[in-house]
Structure 1
Amino acid sequence: MKIADVRASAFAMPLHNPAYPRPPYKFYNREFFVITYRTDPERLQALVPEPLEVVGDTVAYEFIRMPDSTGFGDYTETGQVIPVRFTTPQGEVQEGSFVHAMYLDDNAPITGGRELWGFPKKLATPNLRHEQETLVGTLHYGSVLCATATMGYKHRELDLPSFARNLDKPAFMIKIIPHVDGSPRICELVRYYMEDVTLKGAWDGPGALQLFEHAMCDVARLPVREVVSATHYIADLTLGLGEVVYDYLAPDSTPTL
């Protein structure tokens, strides 16, 4: 194989049989179950990286069922996102969220999510199911239960146009790729959006969340002080590709967009 051929065909690892296809990545009937809760603000400050700013003292704990996604298949994901604020070099203030932790059960979106965007994905066993009148989410890391969430099933229907505006906000994450000597080669703040969103339904209801300590699955690092809300919604969408908004390894360490 010639050098020019490597350059032309290289997209993702492995070279001759990539773990995931090229984008775009479309999701159909993506089901979200989100518990928003209050936590320790000092812990939030310790976890959220500059130049992002923490907004308030809340965390969104999410379970997401993805039964039909192009390239990534059928899988379930769970994790924590933190409300933040980002100020661009032009002075625009953006409200969004920082993706702190993600656990899922499918190799392709784990590798693709980490390599393309920098999603903090780890292999685990999340589950989202309907049990009679209750929506139930659980997370096991190996054999150990790390999270349990419950919500009354479709108690109140939400206004879709108002709720959909929440889905327009960006999300941020840290993309880290090491050099062959173990030093950081890429360390960037990445921003992405959900695109072409078709919201099919949204509901709220009573909710509860329990998080349990685990050495390798640290969801309990942001403990539950009070549940604020529980929402459940279903949508079709395209996962937009990311853009670098800050390079931590740049000599001047200034935002790039």
Structure 2
Amino acid sequence: MGFVKTREEVARLEKVLSHPRFVGAEMLTIDYLTTPEIVRSILPPGLEPAAEPLITAMVGRWRSNCVADFAGGAIYVAARHKDIEAAYVLAMFMDTDQAIMFGRDLFGEPKKRATSDLRHNGTSFHGYVERGGVRLIDIRAELTTDLGPATAQGANFNIKALPASNGIGCEDDPFLTLAEFDNTLRTRKEGAGALLLGSSVHDPVADIKVAQLRKAAYIEGDLISRCRTIARLPAKEFVPYLYGRLDDWTALDTENLPVLAERAAPRQARAG
């Protein structure tokens, strides 16, 4: 395996890239309603709000046929593109370089490096994501309803976008992608939960305010995915959303350490 792959190596790699499998998944989620105004403000061009301003926070871990074992979490926003309804991945955090590169480069997922943990004891579940010393997502749940095994389908919207080489705007019109999942679930549990959201200058997760908590849930199973591009988005309109996905580079200016410290102060919001 060198810097230039042989025809056989390319075929082997593309077989995995086109048929990724995320197996042995364990995912703890909690749904909540935010305000319609917040949803309208965070959805980029090409996406419209769904019927409800529904947000899902998730913490999980997975095995795979492409990026080894990994763990992390995400914030999803219910959205619509034409006649397709799916969850828009607003923020995503993973603990390995391979998981970050694969999802970001292939699907367009807005992945960043973070640490996480997911534990359960009987009907009690707890999962969290931390980045830069800030706990961004913290889910606690008491899941007393056992729904049994099932098969299910899921889908996520993502956007593949690159900053321009000269540092001004997008390099080109971004791609809106749709990742679809065929899920074989061995365990499904539901119940009540509590959610704590935190923010830093780089990850303003707590800005997605909780208006009403919905159910918490936990699943175990295999997620078989595929992805396709479904639209191009106007580069100029996407620029504010592009920079919102990235870290605040101005807060990482070590020539001005007092400014850095002031901008990086964390914030937290609790619900439940």
- Counterpart in 1 of 2:251? none
Q: What amino acid is the match of 1:150?
A: R
Of 178, 187, 194, the residue aligned with 1:201 is 187
- Counterpart in 1 of 2:197? 211
Residue 170 (1) aligns with residue 155 (2): yes
Of 136, 152, 171, the residue aligned with 2:142 is 152
The 5 A counterparts of 1:15-30 are 22-30=17-25
Residue 221 (1) aligns with residue 207 (2): yes
Structure 2 counterpart SS, 1:212: strand
Name which of structure 1's ranges 201-210 and 24-33 shifts more when overlaid on structure 2: 24-33
Q: How far did residue 23 of structure 1 move?
A: 4.5
Residue 46 (1) aligns with residue 41 (2): yes
Q: What amino acid is the match of 1:217?
A: D
Q: How far did residue 180 of structure 1 move?
A: 2.8
8 Å Cα contact 1:61/1:79 also seen in 2: yes
TM-score, with structure 1 as normaliser: 0.79
Structure 2 counterpart SS, 1:220: helix
Residues 125, 151 of structure 1: CA spacing in aligned structure 2 closer, same or farther, 3 A cutoff? same
Residues 107, 48 of structure 1: CA spacing in aligned structure 2 closer, same or farther, 3 A cutoff? same
Q: How far did residue 178 of structure 1 move?
A: 3.2
- Counterpart in 2 of 1:189? 176
Q: What amino acid is the match of 1:139?
A: V
The 5 A counterparts of 1:122-141 are 122-131=112-121, 133-141=123-131
Structure 1 counterpart SS, 2:101: helix
8 Å Cα contact 2:45/2:233 also seen in 1: no
Alignment partners' CA distance in 1, 2:142 and 2:80 = 31
Alignment partners' CA distance in 1, 2:148 and 2:157 = 26
- Counterpart in 2 of 1:96? 86
Name which of structure 1's ranges 142-151 and 199-208 shifts more when overlaid on structure 2: 142-151
Residues 156, 29 of structure 1: CA spacing in aligned structure 2 closer, same or farther, 3 A cutoff? same
Alignment partners' CA distance in 1, 2:194 and 2:138 = 8
Structure 2 counterpart SS, 1:127: strand
Alignment partners' CA distance in 1, 2:79 and 2:31 = 14
- Counterpart in 2 of 1:58? 54
Structure 1 counterpart SS, 2:171: strand
Which structure 1 segments of 5+ residues have no match? Answer: 12-17, 88-92, 251-257
Alignment partners' CA distance in 1, 2:149 and 2:127 = 23
- Counterpart in 1 of 2:96? 106
Q: Please list the CA deviations of residues 181-219 of structure 1 after superposition, one character each: whole Å capped at 9, or x if unmatched.
A: 334234111111013x21112110111101122111221
Q: Please list the CA deviations of residues 129-156 of structure 1 after superposition, one character each: whole Å capped at 9, or x if unmatched.
A: 1245411011111222222111114x11
Alignment RMSD, CA only? 2.6
Q: What amino acid is the match of 1:168?
A: Q
8 Å Cα contact 1:110/1:122 also seen in 2: yes
- Counterpart in 2 of 1:14? none
8 Å Cα contact 1:104/1:124 also seen in 2: yes
8 Å Cα contact 1:33/1:232 also seen in 2: yes
Q: Relative to total residues, which structure has the larger helix share, 1 or 2?
A: 2
Which structure 2 segments of 5+ residues have no match? Answer: 236-272
- Counterpart in 2 of 1:247? 232
8 Å Cα contact 1:211/1:224 also seen in 2: no
Q: Please list the CA deviations of residues 102-145 of structure 1 after superposition, one character each: whole Å capped at 9, or x if unmatched.
A: 01101101011111110010011121112454110111112222
